[in-house]
Amino acid sequence: MADNDCRENIIAAAIPLFAAKGLNGVSVRELAGAAGVNLSMISYYFGGKEGLYAAVLSAQFAVLDKLGEIKQMDIDTLQKFELYVRATVARYRRSPYLLRFYTSELTNPTACFETIVKPAIVKVVQILLDTFTDGLGHERFREGLNPADTVLALAGMINFYFLLEPATAELVDHAPERDEQLIGHIMDIFTRGILK
C-alpha cells in the first residue's frame, strides 16, 4: 500500500472511533486494529494518537474552506445565504461525523480546539457576517438587526436540525429526499420569520 493510501486509510478508520468515543476514549491499539495496520504506523504517520486526532479534525473541518468560494461569487446576498444553507446540508450528508466533532470540541475542547476547530468556525462566521453586512449596505435587510445574532441564528437553525436528528427521528422526516423542502423552509424562516 502506498504511503498516502495507508495514511488516508488510518484517518478513515479513525473518524468513526474518535467521533463516537472522543480523543481519550480510543486506544492506539483500537485505532490500529480498525485500520488493519501495525501500532507503529500511527506513530510513523502521525507522531501518535494526538497527531492522528488532529489529522482527523483537519480533514473533517477542511470542508468548511469551500464556503469562502460562496463569498466571492457575484450574486445577490440572499442567493449567497441559500448557497450556504445548501452547502451545510450537503456537508452533513457527506460528513455525518462532523457535527459530533463540533459538539465534542465545543463542550470538551482538546488542544486541537484552538488550532483547528475554532479557526474553522470563526472563518465561517466571518464569511456570514461579511455577507450579511454587504446585504445591509445594499438595503437587502431591515435595519436594526444585529449582524452577529442574525448569522448565528441562521447557522444555529441548520446545525441544530442535524444535531437533534437522533432524538427527533420519530417526529421529523430527516430523509435526504426532503432536503430541498428543508432548505426552502430554512430560507423562508430566515427571510420572512414565522409571523402571519
Report d(CA 113, CA 170) in Å as an integer: 33
Which residue is it, cell 448569522? 151
pTM: 0.89
Within 10 angstroms of residue 38's Cβ, the number of other Cβ atoms is 10
Residue 159: exposed, middle, or buried by beta-carbon count in 10 A (0-12, 13-18, 19+)?
middle
Report all structural domains of the chain as residue ranges with CATH numbers, in order of start: 3-58 (1.10.10.60), 60-192 (1.10.357.10)
Instruction: Give the model confidence (pLDDT) of 28-83 as tens digits.
Output: 999 999 999 999 999 999 999 999 999 999 999 998 888 889 988 999 999 999 99
Report d(CA 165, CA 175) in Å as an integer: 10
Q: Residue 2's pLDDT is what?
A: 67
Q: Residue 63's pLDDT is what?
A: 86
Residues in the chain with pLDDT values less than 50: none
Q: Residue 1's pLDDT is what?
A: 56
